[in-house]
Amino acid sequence: MKKISALFFLFAFFYLHTTAQENRKEYKKISRMIPMRDGVKLFTVILMPVNDPTPEPFLIERTPYGADIPLPNDSIVKIPNTAITNLAGDGFIFVFQDIRGKNKSEGKMQIHQPLIHSTQKGAVDESTDTYDAIDWLLKNIPNNNGKAGIYGISYPGWLALVGAVDPHPALKASSEQACMSDLFLGDDFHHNGAFRLSYGFEYSYGVEYDPTKYSDYPFTQFDNYDWYLNKIGPLKEVNNKYFHNKVPTWNNFVQHPNYDAFWQKNSPLNYIQSPQIPMMHVGGYYDQEDLNGPQLMYGHMEKKDSFNRNFIVLGPWFHGQWANRKGDSLGKISFESNTAEYFQALQKKWFDYWLKNIGDGKFDEATCFQTGSNVWKTYNKWPPAEAVIKDLYAGTGNTSSFAKPVSNSGSVSYVSDPAKPVPYRTLPIEATYGKGSRWQPWHVDDQRFAYSRPDVVSFTSDSLTSDLVVTGKIVADIFASTTGTDADWIVKLIDVYPDMDQKNFMMSQYQLPVAMEVFRGRFRKSFENPEALIPGKPEEFKIDLHQINHDFKKGHRIMIQIQSTWFPIIDRNPQKFVPNIFEAKASDFIKATQTIYFTPQYPTHIELPVMAN
C-alpha cells in the first residue's frame, strides 16, 4: 500500500509548468467538490484536454494520498514522461479524487472498509462513492464520450478493484495494480499469520496519525534494526511507549491476533466474487508490499469469470515499478529491456479498446515476464496447465536434488534466538519510506549475508546441465520440529549463479531469491484457532511461495534456504506459545532448537511446476 498515486505525477506537473517541453497535448486543471449520495463532498482534480473537439472518456484514479496538483485552477500543463504519457497523447479526461476523510475531502476514513452497500440499506462505501463520482462527472464535465475507466497502484489499486463492484453503467474497464488482498493471509500487515512489524508499524502511523496527510514516523536513528529490537522490544510496548492507543489500525492488530471475523469480513475474498467489467490485474514478482494481491484476486475472480473479463499481467517489478519511466533492472538484476515501457503500451491498448473502441479487443489471458531468460510470455491459462510438478528435496550434506531421500536419519538443526534475529536484508534497516531507504529492491538482494549465519540452513543442488523453466505456483512442504511450543518458518527458493559467471563476472555466486515466504507455526492447522506446537514432534508445514515464471539457467544451482527469524519485517515469535503475541512479555521469548527433516517419512521439499523445454 505504498504511497503510489497521483502524487507520482504531481511534482512533475509542477516542474513542467516552469520549463520548456517538447510538443505534447495540453491539459487544463480544474478542481471540484463532488457530492456523494450522503451529502459528503470529495475533492477532485480534473485534467481536461485543451482544444480537443473529440469527446473523450474519463480515466479515474482515487487515492488516500493526496489528489491535488500544486498549480492554480485553470493552469495549462503538459504531461511528462510518466506511466500515463502515452495515454495522454491520444486524449483522456484524467480524474484524481481524494477518498472520503483524507486530505481535502470531507467525511471519515476507515482503512479498507469492506463493501457494505448491498447488505445495509443506505450505506456508503468506496463502490458507491465511485459510482456517484462517475455519475456527477458524466453530467457536469463537457465533451465526454459517456465512458469511464478506473485504475491505480497499491491502495488506489484496491480502490480500482472495489470501484468495479456493482459499477456505474458508464464504467467499462478497471485495472487493479498491486492491490492488497487478504490482510491476514498474505499482504501488507500479515503473511500466513506472521505480523509484518516494520511495515505495519510505520504504515498505520503514517495513514492515521494525521488524517489530513501521510506522516512519516519520526525515528531517532537511521538503522532501525536495533530500534525495533530494543527500543520497542515486545509488541505490547508499542502502545505503552509510542502510540498510546491513538492509532486505530494498530489497536485492531492487538485485538485480532488470529483470523477471526474481523479479518474475514475485511477480506476482498469475502465481498468480491466475479469480474463485473473487464479487469486487468497487475503485479510484480518482487513486490515488497502486495505481491500476493493481484495473483490471489485474479485466481479468486477467475473461478466465476463466465464472460472472459478477467486478465493478469505479472512482471519483474517492485511495488509499482511498472509506472516508472524505466523497468530494465532491479537492484543488481538486469532484465535487458524496458519492461515498464512494455507494460505501459499494453495498458494503453487495454483502455483504448474498452473506452474508445480502438483495436481488436484480443487480450491474452496472462502476460507474464520470464525472469532468467528475460523474455515476455503469454498464456491462455494461468498458471499454465501444461506445467508438471517436480519435487526438489532437501538432502544430506546440505544438498538438494530431485531424488527423494532414502536415509531414515536425515536431519539438520539450528538454534533460533529471538534476541539475535536474522535481519531480512543487510544492515542498516532504514525507515521504510525514509531518506536513503533500500526498501524497494530487497526482494532480489543477494542472500549470502544470511547463508553464513548458524541459524540459517541451506540445501544446494548440483549445477544444472540444462535450463529448468519453472512457471506457476510454488509450494514448500517443510517437515520440522522445535524444542519450543511455537515457531516461524521462513523458506526461500534461490537461484545460485555460477562460481565464475561468464556473462557478468560481478554476479558470480550471487544468491537470487526467486520466491520467499514466512509461516507462523501456530496456524499449521487453522488460522482461526491457533495451537501450540508439541516440543520435539516433527510436523508438516505447507507454505505457499506464490507464483513465479523463472528460467534457472544451465550452470546455475537451486537452493532451498530455511530460517526462523526475519527481522524486523516480521515480528519476533516468542517461540513459547502465548494466546496473543501482541501481549507477550519479555520473559516469554526463549531460544529454541529447530530441526529440519529429510527422510522418506518426512521429506522436506519444494514443489516446482516445470515447463517442457
Quick: pLDDT tens for 89-148.
888 999 999 999 999 999 998 888 899 998 999 999 999 999 999 999 999 999 999 999
pLDDT tens profile 383-441: 999 999 999 999 999 999 999 999 999 999 999 999 999 999 999 999 999 889 999 99
pLDDT digits (tens, 9 = 90+) for 254-287: 999 999 999 999 999 999 999 999 999 999 999 9
Whether residue 326 has pLDDT greater than 90: no
Q: Note the pTM of the prediction, 2 decimals.
A: 0.95
In this structure, which amino acid lies at residue 152? Answer: G
Q: How confident is the model at residue 613 (pLDDT cuts 50, 70, 90)?
A: confident
Per-residue pLDDT tens digits for 195-208: 999 999 999 998 88
Domain 388-611, classified CATH 2.20.25.90, yes or no: no
Mean pLDDT of 313-330: 95
Provide the pLDDT for residue 81: 61
Region 37-56 average pLDDT: 96
Write the CB contacts of 208 (distance below 8 Å, at least 6 apart in sequence).
Answer: 111, 247, 248, 249
Does residue 16 register a pLDDT over 90? no
Determine what percent of the chain is predicted with pLDDT higher than 70: 95
pLDDT exceeds cutoff 90 at 498: yes
- With cut-offs at 50, 70 and 90, classify the pLDDT of residue 82: low
CA-closest candidate to residue 351, choices 90, 80, 9, 164? 90
**Average pLDDT score over residue span 346-373:** 97
Helix (H), strand (E), coil (C) string for 226-283: HHHHHHHCCCCHHHHHHHCCCCHHHHHHHHCCCCCHHHHHCCHHHHCCCCCCCEEEEE
Average pLDDT, the chain: 94
Name the CATH superfamily, with its identifier, for domain 186-264.
alpha-amino acid ester hydrolase ( Helical cap domain) (1.10.3020.10)
Q: Is the pLDDT of residue 8 over 50?
A: no
Residue 22 has pLDDT above 80, yes or no: no
Amino acid at 263: W
Q: Enumerate the domain spans of the chain.
A: 7-181+267-379, 186-264, 388-611
8 A C-beta contact, residue 393 and residue 407: no
Q: CA–CA separation, 121 vs 131, rounded Å?
A: 16
Q: Any residues with CB less than 8 A from the CB of 82 and at least 6 apart, and which?
A: 8, 9, 12, 323, 325
In angstroms, the CA 475 to CA 607 distance is 5
Q: Are 148 and 260 in contact (CB under 8 A)?
A: no
Name the residue type at position 422: V
Which CATH homologous superfamily contains domain 7-181+267-379? Answer: Alpha/Beta hydrolase fold, catalytic domain (3.40.50.1820)
Residue 21 has pLDDT above 70, yes or no: no
| pLDDT tens by residue, 507-565 | 999 999 999 999 999 999 999 999 999 999 999 999 999 999 999 999 999 999 999 99
On the question of pLDDT at 10 being above 60, the answer is: no
Helix (H, G, I), strand (E, B) or coil at 354: helix
Q: For the stretch 29-66, what's the b/e string if a residue is b when 16 or more beta carbons lie within 10 angstroms of its beta carbon?
A: bebbebebeeebebbbbbbbbeebeeebbbbbbbbbbb
Q: Please state, in angstroms and as integers, the Cα–Cα distance from residue 192 to each residue in 28, 86, 184, 520, 543, following that order.
A: 47, 39, 7, 6, 8
Asked whether the predicted pLDDT for residue 299 surpasses 80, the reply is: yes
Model pLDDT, residue 6: 43
